[in-house]
Structure 1
Amino acid sequence: MVPVRTDFARRLHSETRVEHERAHAQPFVRALLAGELGGEDFAVLLAQHYFAYEVLEAAAERMRSDLVAGPFVSDRLRRLPALETDLQHYFGRGWRRKITPSAATEEYRVRMRETCFDWPGGFVAHHYTRYLGDLSGGQVLRRCLERAEAGSAFLTFERIPDGPRFKAAYRTLLDTAGWDAAEEDRIVAEVKRAYAHNTRVLAGLSYLLIPRQR
């Protein structure tokens, strides 16, 4: 049977645009894109990403066999190995002992633990927010870092040679997941919440790394 197709992917993008733009408007992100910060500064963000992905990718293993969330889980997206490579590069041996989650990152982790392990729609909300962001705006940042000779394995998806095609397939999954209107509303709200968590993480880094702009 052909699944009923909706326009949920378009709705999700449209209704969370403000939250997405708020996250990308943070001074830390603007400074990275402008070439005002280097790899060592980006490494501080990578450390916070590590703690977030630690929870999200544990949830992915839990959700792998779920009928709704399972199709979204792809080993080609996994970021922890790349993050470990980057953190080893920037922080050296014993890197794990040298990094800690910020208060904002810890709040983000708590929320993912609350929603991503038992609620398929909640898992997809956080999965969508992180991975599609890395495959979209993250690639602009990757090119900026490469120009500054501060490349990042984290933003290099070697197993996804055609990003637009992968994202199109992902949006098809969103459109054919079979959620009813109430569940779609819950997922939209959770994506907004995920963006809010990411914004607070970035705001904290803006304060620490570029206080001259405050």
Structure 2
Amino acid sequence: MNVDHPEDNLLIVRAFGRPDATASTMTGVNENGGVWKVTDPSGEHEHVVAWPSGQISERPEIRREVVLLYKAACEALGVSPREEHEPASDHPRGKHGAVEPEDEDKGGKPFSTVIRESSWSDHSDSERATFMEDIMKGRGTKQDYTDLVAQHFFMYEALEAAADSVLGDPAFEGFHVPALVRLPSLEADLRYLMGDDWRDRITPTPATAAYVARIREVSEARWVAGIVAHHYTRYLGDLSGGQMIAKRVAKQHELSGEGVAFYDFAELGSIPAFKDDYRAALDRLGASLSTAERADMLEEVRTAYGFNTAVFVDLGKRKAAAV
């Protein structure tokens, strides 16, 4: 929901299961519905409301479903909806801007919100790269998925080494926990998908090699905010849209656990709760940075998204060349 209209969150949860709610903030989305943090006389609760149209698979569909929920809530509660809630375009940010969950804005937007809003178009570009779009829409082959997993291995090998290098830095506190580590699951997935000799059979695309080089450059400089920029781009994506990808791929290619272990964050516990904690860590980090340092970090987030898009483009070229 748009940060300009926090009352819309309250309308939705009151209409769909929490009639006594006094406060509500949207904290997450998945293919089945939206997730809200709700306060009512009995305390705080996590509340899920199903999408009106059923399961979704594309990020732009979120805006449509939130608008439908808002209108249905208004009808149920006898409230007249605002005309401005009509979708203005097919752009995933819709008419007002970001449609992802908003953090509470106390005297200015939290840094986590600034990061998300500043990089939304870059994120959308990444998702809309043809190779990735094919996987997300179920048009990709099992080999396409395997090729993607191979590139993830190189990315996370560099990223998790970078994270390990600053684990003791107070500025990095709250970002990297053991349950977040993906390298062992990537190795297991590749072993399942390709066999025991998988390591000898994979190579990074030029874009992946450049991405890895940038992560290592940032790490060698011990630039914590830069490491967080890459960490945020990858892990928060894995915990959000990545969960949709996992279900799509598992169903399409009949994978059950093995082959999609990379996307299994069961050991992390509640994903919405972890994402709340992660955003809080981003806000703390942002508060410790100067204006120039925050701008540099925002630019690095956009750089990371650019690398991801370039990797997908390279994979598309590699696929076309193999035909």
TM-score normalised over the length of structure 1: 0.92
1:31 is aligned to 2:134: yes
Map 1:1-214 to 2 at 5 A.
Answer: 7-117=110-220, 118-148=222-252, 149-151=254-256, 152-177=260-285, 178-209=288-319
Following TM superposition, by how much is the alpha carbon of 1:6 offset from its aligned partner in structure 2, in angstroms? Answer: 6.3
SS for the counterpart of 1:172 is: helix
One-letter amino acid matched to 1:128: Y
8 A contact 1:6–1:176 mirrored in 2 = no
8 A contact 1:52–1:105 mirrored in 2 = yes
Distance in 1 between residues matched to 2:310 and 2:234, nearest whole Å: 14
Following TM superposition, by how much is the alpha carbon of 1:109 offset from its aligned partner in structure 2, in angstroms? Answer: 0.6
**Which is richer in strand?**
2
One-letter amino acid matched to 2:255: A
* Identity rate, percent: 38
One-letter amino acid matched to 1:173: A
Distance in 2 between residues matched to 1:29 and 1:55, nearest whole Å: 22
Following TM superposition, by how much is the alpha carbon of 1:132 offset from its aligned partner in structure 2, in angstroms? Answer: 0.4
**Which is richer in helix?**
1
One-letter amino acid matched to 2:298: V
Which piece of structure 1 moves more, 97-106 or 202-211? 202-211
Distance in 2 between residues matched to 1:194 and 1:206, nearest whole Å: 19
One-letter amino acid matched to 2:292: A
Aligned partner of 2:39 in structure 1 is: none
8 A contact 1:24–1:30 mirrored in 2 = yes
> In the TM superposition, what whole-angstrom CA distance separates every residue of 1:16-38 from its partner, at most 9, and x where no partner exists?
00110000001111111221123
Structure number with larger C-alpha Rg? 2
SS for the counterpart of 2:268 is: coil
8 A contact 1:6–1:175 mirrored in 2 = no
SS for the counterpart of 2:196 is: coil
| Structure 1 gap segments, 5+ residues each | none
8 A contact 1:63–1:73 mirrored in 2 = no
One-letter amino acid matched to 1:184: R
Following TM superposition, by how much is the alpha carbon of 1:39 offset from its aligned partner in structure 2, in angstroms? Answer: 2.9
One-letter amino acid matched to 1:97: D
The number of residue pairs the alignment matches comes to: 209
> In the TM superposition, what whole-angstrom CA distance separates every residue of 1:99-151 from its partner, at most 9, and x where no partner exists?
01111100001100111341011110000001001111101101101221135
8 A contact 1:38–1:150 mirrored in 2 = no
Structure 1 consecutive aligned stretches of length 4 or more whose deviation exceeds 4 Å: none
8 A contact 2:174–2:277 mirrored in 1 = no
8 A contact 2:174–2:278 mirrored in 1 = no
8 A contact 1:23–1:196 mirrored in 2 = yes
Following TM superposition, by how much is the alpha carbon of 1:88 offset from its aligned partner in structure 2, in angstroms? Answer: 0.1
One-letter amino acid matched to 2:272: P
